[in-house]
Structure 1
């Protein structure tokens, strides 16, 4: 991807995403992670190359941005129900499903709250519920927890992973946190500085990630060390 001003953001990226994958794009700020995510979503067209889908599923995707991007005048329920109503679902059914997803992100009782009445973590939960209410096959997330405090971030990481295990959507998650990428992703794609390309791919076995104590385990520390080393090598390349 080369922008009109001449900046080449992404170069020679070759990536296959399988259904049900949880992939993390890890790299320094400005390396093209978000640009690549937007190309996958169809928000940007590649300057060259192509993005292929096994079948027409581009409409079956959800996107969670760095900021919650909620309608400030609308309640949490109205924000979550909106994608269903835009898809033609009746308001009553859209709100029923909206309530269901607010409950799944632990926001029962806050249906009538507007965004200014919610904490940052709660607003992000509403954004996640809005992205998942249509049951997308592919969920794209652009550093959604970067601005949150560590405690809230850890909790939302765990909640997101549990939703993925329940729903088995495909996820592509952008982060610049080694620790977050190891906790969440089966496949970690380490990107070089701009123009971004994939320097290496690392795997975290599902058996390791399934353990309740994974975040405090020696296995987690070892994976974080390996990913940190790969990131340092990509930065120095």
Structure 2
């Protein structure tokens, strides 16, 4: 494991050689109309195929950073660039992202299949093709037997699987997840951690995963970016060098315990910074 305190984005870029980042944040800050300064001076690079967690205390701006990357909010200062993105007709970068919120946010009147089809239908995809793609996405998350089920007929974990399938059905290059498993029981959460890693390893998309759990971040991530309490700033960038796939044996290993100890120390520093 390697730890960089108060990391600069160029320092992290050195780990990736000549590769261009998919997303590049420079000096990003966000002040809300109420006057609250949520985020200040964030420099962050996300590279192709990475699994990165944003870890920090509640209210430190993790979700704000995620939403700005997704285009659901704009920085007050600084810039967010997409060096490797496709461009639209106006030359603007296409934000090729999928977003999984803290709550599944499913349409209660629609089946699982119809919920997952929604992004494709908004893109004007033909119904048959959209249905086939949505069915394949639900199969990938283990819900092929529940295509016609309504949200009220699904458990909390199953609803979150539908939400993940909906985010992945457009085959985004970057998947943004905002504490998606926080409300689930530990057994379900561990299973979904494993399933998410399996999906990531197959499709090789980039993941930015917001969590306040040290244990979850260490289990999932290649890098953990630790943020300080408001205003949110990046104080440490911890590389988790343990190989994939990871399993129950890793959760009980000395290597895992040591990584959790290091990340916990960085989080404690961030809370008091």
Instruction: Note whether the superposition's TM-score is higher than 0.5.
Output: yes
Is the CA contact (8 Å cut-off) linking 2:229 and 2:272 kept in structure 1? no
Cα distance in structure 1, aligned partners of 2:209 and 2:203: 16
Is the CA contact (8 Å cut-off) linking 2:219 and 2:246 kept in structure 1? no
Q: Which residues of structure 1 form unaligned runs of 5+?
A: none
Cα distance in structure 2, aligned partners of 1:211 and 1:108: 25
Deviations 1:112-146 (A, max 9, x none): 11001100000000000000011000100000000
Structure 2 residue 136 is the aligned partner of structure 1 residue 100: yes
Is the CA contact (8 Å cut-off) linking 1:41 and 1:58 kept in structure 2? no
Q: Which residues of structure 2 form unaligned runs of 5+?
A: 1-29, 87-92
Equivalent position SS for 2:79: coil
Equivalent position SS for 2:44: coil
Question: Which residue number in structure 2 is paired with residue 229 of structure 1?
Answer: 265
TM-superposed deviation, 1:211: 4.2
Deviations 1:9-63 (A, max 9, x none): 0001001111111110000000000001001011111000000001235432100
Runs of 4 or more above 3 Å deviation: 56-59
TM-score, with structure 2 as normaliser: 0.84
Cα distance in structure 1, aligned partners of 2:46 and 2:246: 25
TM-score, with structure 1 as normaliser: 0.97
Question: Which residue number in structure 1 is paired with residue 72 of structure 2?
Answer: 43
Cα distance in structure 1, aligned partners of 2:128 and 2:246: 40
Q: How many residues align?
A: 236
Structure 2 residue 40 is the aligned partner of structure 1 residue 11: yes
Structure 2 residue 151 is the aligned partner of structure 1 residue 115: yes
Structure 2 residue 185 is the aligned partner of structure 1 residue 156: no
Question: Which residue number in structure 1 is paired with residue 256 of structure 2?
Answer: 220
TM-superposed deviation, 1:80: 0.6
Structure 2 residue 59 is the aligned partner of structure 1 residue 23: no
Structure 2 residue 119 is the aligned partner of structure 1 residue 83: yes
Question: Which residue number in structure 1 is paired with residue 245 of structure 2?
Answer: 210
Aligned CA RMSD, in angstroms, stands at 1.0
Question: Which residue number in structure 1 is paired with residue 163 of structure 2?
Answer: 127
Cα distance in structure 1, aligned partners of 2:218 and 2:151: 31
Is the CA contact (8 Å cut-off) linking 1:28 and 1:176 kept in structure 2? yes
Equivalent position SS for 1:234: helix
Equivalent position SS for 2:177: strand
Deviations 1:155-185 (A, max 9, x none): 0000001100000001100000000100111
Which structure shows the bigger proportion of residues in strand conformation?
Answer: 2
